[in-house]
Amino acid sequence: MPLRPWSPIPIVDNGEPLLPLPPGLLRLEPHPYVAVGAPYGEQASPFQLRQGVIERLLAAQAHLQRTHPQWRLAVFDAWRPLAVQAHMVQHAIRSECQIRGLDPDQPGPALTAVVAEVGRFWAPPSADPLTPPPHSTGAAVDLTLADADGQTLPMGSEIDAIGAVSEPDYFQQRAGELAPGPERDQALRWAGHRDALRHAMQVAGFAQHPNEWWHFSHGDQLWAWRQQQPIAHYGRWGPAEP
């Protein structure tokens, strides 16, 4: 997996602590990566973020509820130790191989194509402090929208889906290609949900991953790249060994 375009951006960590998400932010549980054996360890929780990022998440939710009082943010995943990142990259590769009917242990062009496609969505589990995966910094969060009962809203694709369907504007573009009718109406509904999430997060200072409707961050290298900032404010949090 090649380096990202944001990898050269320098990091000057501001030292903010990694804190548990407050009760006002909905957590989607059971956590899906724990369910597939991701090695968090007994003391580590995925539902943690840097202090300033949590404050911005709360601001994003407040903004969302000014326009959609019955909606709230629903956090799917937040901080990841490097060991979890490494585990989930391999899990994603094997899952995609299974979908395509490939043997993940058989090298060749087909496997290379899968690894490249997975690499558009999953950052390498780099132990280099200059190139941390976004989630290992405590600055990145994967999330969606939920209603007042905590039921997630349809967004057109699942979080972590590999492919163009996960790109933020996919359904807006798809709607433009469809004739009026139920399929177009559904595409516009999904596009509207994605836009509402993106707007709330951007108002609070987050930047969106270009390939993932669910991934936002503030203060990491990806954020600095998208916001044209000279430095990132958060480096890797936690042990270096993946």
Measured CA angle at 55 (ends 87, 138), to 5 deg: 20
Question: In the numeric block, which tokens belong to residue 123?
Answer: 């950052």
Region of 119 (left: φ > 0; alpha: ψ -120 to 50; beta: rest) is alpha
Phi first, then psi, for residue 235 (nearest 5°) are -105, -170
Question: In the numeric block, which tokens belong to residue 46?
Answer: 């995925």
By three-state DSSP, how is residue 72 classified? Answer: strand
Question: How far, in Å, CA of 188 to CA of 68, rounded?
Answer: 17
Question: How far, in Å, CA of 216 to CA of 43, rounded?
Answer: 25
Active-site annotation holder among 16, 96, 167, 212: 212
Question: How far, in Å, CA of 236 to CA of 127, rounded?
Answer: 9
How distant, in Å, are the alpha carbons of 48, 181, 213 from that of 162?
25, 27, 12
Query: Which residue in this structure is represented by tokens 């595409």?
Result: 187
Q: Are 104 and 97 in contact (CB under 8 A)?
A: yes
212 is catalytic: yes
Q: Which sequence positions are flagged as catalytic? A: 212
